Amino acid sequence: MNDQCLLTTKDYTLLETMHDDPLVRDTALLRLLRRKKASAIVMFREDLPDDVASLNSRVTFSVDARCDTRVLTTGRMTTPVGMLLPVDTLRGLALLGLREGQTIVIENVEGHMEAISLDAVNYQPERMRRSDEFPMRIGLGGKPILRLVQGVGPACSGKPPEEPDDPGPSAA
């Protein structure tokens, strides 16, 4: 079993903060935190491969063959149930840093072993920063050029706006 995970510097710093938090007393979570930190390869966000689950990534995963899609977040937010998976939970932490196709086996809160597989990284913030679709560009004179999203106004590039491939969270 390959426990190796790839983390951005920000994601690794988050793990260190969680580990040092006196309120984190869940022994299973602490064991998984130590395991993640010990197996981590830390890199700059620009170097993170496209198929790695990072903070704020939307991922599709399977737990013992049951499939789900969520966004990995830093905390428990007040959003509709089923959209987010905080990384301060066992499953959220387990997925952080995995590559598509990678599986990790953890002990769940009931003390049973469960296999968590990362099936797909549907959205990764680092990938969007590198893509041509990232909304801010640096133009002549070092000033940012913004491209407005369809329905909000015309695109600054002079080209008509394209339909997005991703239907967004409302399609989930």
Interhelix angle for 9-20 vs 27-39, to 10°?
A: 150
Q: What is the pTM of this model?
A: 0.73
75 pLDDT more than 60: yes
**What is residue 126's three-state secondary structure?**
helix
Q: pLDDT tens-digit profile of 81-110?
A: 778 999 999 999 999 999 999 999 999 888
Collect all residues with Cβ–Cβ distance below 8 Å to 44 and sequence separation of at least 6: 8, 9
DSSP-assigned letter for residue 52: B
Domain with CATH 3.10.50.30 in the chain: 5-127
**pLDDT value at residue 4:** 92
**pLDDT value at residue 65:** 80
Architecture of the domain spanning 5-127: Roll (3.10)
